[in-house]
Chain A
Amino acid sequence: GTGRNEGKGWKRFQSYKGEAALPKEAESLRIFVDRKAQTIILPIHGFAVPFHINTIKNVSKNEEGDFTYLRVNFQTPGQLAGKKEDTPFEDPDATFIRSVTYRSADGHRFDTLSKQITDLKKEVNKREQQKKEMAD
């Protein structure tokens, strides 16, 4: 390989070591924020699919009729330039999940989820920033 990501700071991360580590809350078939594992678990057709907070870009929420929609946006290559593309990827040629959208009649719960995800993202970013500063 050409190793174009070598030395660019892509760090390997993982939500759970195995299926036994999946939290009980995944059973509800509802989105769950597992702060300890820095992971959001999305219910996708019966599967409990973890996404590490590092894969998540942001969340957006809107209301339409009786439902609230929550959209989880992920980090992917080839996103519109605006900021400089400094996010390294392990395999930029893979297929990426770019976003997943859910709806719920319970708007309050989606408010809470949206806040939990945003807060976790902020917390992790802040910690990364501090690590960087310490290293300098």
Chain B
Amino acid sequence: MTTQFDAIFHGLSPELGKFRIAASGMAWKGVDSDKMVAISSADIKWAQWLRVARNYQLRVGLKDRSREIFDGFGREDHDKLSQLLKQHFSVTLETKEVSFKGWNWGVTDFQGEDLAFLVSNKASFELPLSEVANSNIAGRTEVSLEFTTPSGSKKSKGAPDEMVEIRFYVPGTVNRDRGSDA
């Protein structure tokens, strides 16, 4: 038996597609391009559920330590998805807590291939290190990361805004005179 979810995105692509789950695995197929992403059940190791910009994201960890992400799920899809993952792949859908506090201070944490920024122990965002084109340290307390941007970005209505650089202020690299009471 196959269960289908409509209007799902694969990765950060703007293209909508159909997402299907069955005992054999899961697959996404683009509506416009007919692009196809298929994951076989034997490769599925873990699954996470988190709130992102395009509603909820299903993040699937694979045997080769890579992962696939699918955006656009509704809050109401959680229980159904959770049950299907359990039933077909014996995988528990874990919820990853995300912060919406609006603060610009927190903790950076290297998590696998990502640099995560945590606010009050919840994820604020994650940056894939594979997309960092350049990094710089200035004045011992400032770290900047520059990102690769697609060169052929054309002017199109509704195109996403592209982040090209982020700078962090990292104190604590200089000697502290008060122990670690943070």
Contacts and interface: CB of A to CB of B under 8 A. Distances in A.
A98 B141 CA distance: 11
Interface in A7-28: 13-22, 26-28
A14 B102 contact: yes
Give the interface residue-count category, chain B: 35 or more
A101 B163 contact: yes
B178 interface: yes
Given A46-B71, A78-B171, A106-B155, A14 B104 contact: no
A48 B169 contact: no
B88 interface: no
Nearest to A1: B181
Contacts of B181: 1-2
Contact of B53 (A43, A70, A104, A105): A43
A103 B164 CA distance: 7
A121 interface: no
B150 to A, nearest CB: 11
B168 A95 contact: yes
Contacts of A19: 51, 98, 100
Nearest to B149: A103
B7 to A, nearest CB: 11
Give the interface residue-count category, chain A: 35 or more
Contacts of B125: 44-45, 47, 49
Given A78-B171, A92-B171, A100-B166, A48 B159 contact: no
Contacts of A92: 171
Interface stretch (B18-26, B31-39, B40-48, B105-113): B105-113
A52 interface: yes
A93 interface: yes
A48 B52 contact: yes
Most B CB within 10 A of own CB, among A27, A30, A44:
A44
9 contacts: A46-B54, A46-B69, A47-B125, A51-B103, A52-B102, A94-B171, A96-B168, A99-B167, A104-B159
Given A17-B100, A55-B103, A97-B167, 7 more contacts: A14-B102, A27-B54, A30-B158, A44-B125, A95-B168, A99-B166, A104-B162
